[in-house]
Amino acid sequence: MDIETIGARLALEDLAGRYARAIDRRDMELLRSVYHPDAIDEHGTAYQGGVDGFIAAMPALMGNYEVTQHQIHSKVFAIEGDKADGELYFTAYHRTSESARHLVVHGRYLDNYEKREGAWKIAYRRLVWDAILSQDVLEEDARLLDMLGENGAAADDYSYRCLPLMPRGG
């Protein structure tokens, strides 16, 4: 593997991590930064269309979730010049606010990337949903989580106080 391919792969892996952080922190500026302006996102039946519409739909799509955690697992990339394809396996945890449920979704991001003006970004993203698990949040689990210390949250997450080099939007 040559140095340019290694650099591209590292950039694409960083892109995947920034996407997960943006979704979980509800950081729309950071989310926008992982897509090209003319990108398309096919998020199953939840959303299909341009990136501006996807970002505008985010508050409604994520509004019922108190906490989310998107984890990117296996990543396979095919890179040719300034274009790349990727299949990224993910697990996305969601804890609902109102009905107190744990929802865990397993699936894959099928991505087309392009390097424009020196930056790799998503040009087209399609989701494949492979499995979902759902269960009630038990009261004792919530108490235990509170007892452990800082809990995950969206815009006011503890990470913004601890990681000064990773501010909102960055």
C-alpha separations of 32 from 4, 61, 147, 159, 166 in Å: 25, 16, 35, 20, 16
- The pLDDT of 106-134, averaged and rounded, is 97
> Is residue 167 one of the residues assigned to a domain?
no
* Eight-state DSSP code of residue 103: E
pLDDT value of residue 111: 98
> Is residue 61 one of the residues assigned to a domain?
yes
pLDDT value of residue 143: 83
**Domain total of the chain:** 1
> Is residue 111 one of the residues assigned to a domain?
yes
| Alpha carbons 27 and 126: distance in angstroms, whole number | 21
The answer for 77, left when phi > 0, alpha when psi is -120 to 50, beta otherwise, is beta
What is the span of the domain harbouring residue 89? Answer: 3-162
Whichever domain contains 8, its CATH number is 3.10.450.50
pLDDT in tens, 61-87: 998 898 999 999 999 999 999 999 999
Chain mean pLDDT for the chain: 93
pLDDT in tens, 6-56: 999 999 999 999 999 999 999 999 999 999 999 999 999 999 999 999 999
> Is residue 22 one of the residues assigned to a domain?
yes
pTM metric for this prediction? 0.92
| Order of all β-strands in the sheet with 35-43 | 47-50, 35-43, 119-136, 101-116, 83-96, 65-80
* Eight-state DSSP code of residue 168: T
**Neighbour count for residue 68 (Cβ, 10 Å):** 19
- The pLDDT of 130-135, averaged and rounded, is 96
> Is residue 156 one of the residues assigned to a domain?
yes
Q: Is the pLDDT reported for residue 154 higher than 90?
A: no
> Is residue 169 one of the residues assigned to a domain?
no
| Alpha carbons 102 and 93: distance in angstroms, whole number | 7
pLDDT value of residue 159: 86
> Is residue 155 one of the residues assigned to a domain?
yes
* Eight-state DSSP code of residue 45: T
Q: Do residues 37 and 51 lie in contact, with contact meaning Cβ atoms separated by under 8 Å?
A: yes
Q: Do residues 39 and 124 lie in contact, with contact meaning Cβ atoms separated by under 8 Å?
A: yes
> Is residue 99 one of the residues assigned to a domain?
yes
